[in-house]
Each structure stands twice: as structure tokens, then as C-alpha cells.
Amino acid sequence: MRLPVIALLGLAAAGPLFAKLPALIEEEKAKAALVTAKTAWTDKVGLYKICLAMDRSAEVYRADQKTAGKEPPAADPMPNCADPGPAVAAVDAAASKPLEASGAHSPPGMAVSPPSNKATSAEMTGPRK
């Protein structure tokens, strides 16, 4: 009797785990892409630093062998360590537009008439009351 009750409680508790998450919006996608790019660059920097450390330790080993009077083994031909350079963020064209080009100062909606006309202020406001 206890086993079916425990099984039902377990299924009820696991229900939210199978719920579908909402779709990502564009800002979240861009932020996730930026995080992915930064992580990839950080990995490249880490590998570059490891490569430099391995080169230094090999040089120290060869120097120690020479001071001990032994001939160090020949170095295997390895490619040079590739510096990943500075991190470069992906530039979003829509986000990098200047404010004037993005319409920040424009009123909402489409203009149906020119912003100025030849009427005087008195003509626009009407006669005095």
C-alpha cells in the first residue's frame, strides 16, 4: 500500500522537472552568445599560458642537464604557442547605432504633415476670448 503512494508522490514531485522552459528572447540569446565567446577566449588564454609554462620548464630541464654535464635530449619540433590576443566582443549592429540614427528623438508614429507651417501663432490659437 505504501509503494503506490510513494510512487505517486514521486511522480507529482517530478512533474515540474519535465516542464518546458519558455523560448529565449533575443537579448538572452545575445547574452548567451557573449558568454560562450568569452568562455572560449578564456580557454584559449589558459592553453596559451600552459604552453608557455611547458616551454619554460623544458628550457629549465635542458639547462639543468647541461650544468650536470649531461647532454639533454633533442627537442621535438613543436609549433610555437599561439597568443589568442585581446578579447573581442561581437558587435551587434542594432545595439551600436548612435541615438540619432535609432530614432530616439523622433516622436512615435509616422509624420503626416511637415513639422512647421507658415501660419502665425495668432492664426493657430484663434481669436482672443
At residue 53, the pLDDT reads: 94
Return all residues near 81 (Cβ < 8 A) that are at least 6 apart. 48, 51, 52, 55
DSSP 80: P
Residue 33 lies inside a defined structural domain of this protein: no
> What is the full DSSP assignment across 8-75?
HHHHHHHGGGGPPPPPPPHHHHHHHHHHHHHHHHHHHHHHHHHHHHHHHHHHHHHHHHHHTTPPPPPP
Residue 4 lies inside a defined structural domain of this protein: no
Which residue has 528572447 as its cell numbers?
A: 25
Residue 56 lies inside a defined structural domain of this protein: yes
Q: How many domains does one find in the chain? A: 1
- What pLDDT digit, counting tens, does each position of 84-117 carry? 888 876 555 555 555 555 555 555 556 666 656 6
pTM of the model: 0.50
Q: Identify which of 49, 37, 14 has the alpha carbon closest to the alpha carbon of residue 87.
A: 37
Residue 49 lies inside a defined structural domain of this protein: yes
Residue 104 lies inside a defined structural domain of this protein: no
Domain that residue 48 falls in: 42-70
Please name the helix (run of DSSP H) or strand (run of DSSP E) that holds residue 122, with its range, or none. helix 121-125
Residue 66 lies inside a defined structural domain of this protein: yes
Task: Tell me which residues of the chain have a pLDDT lower than 50.
Answer: none
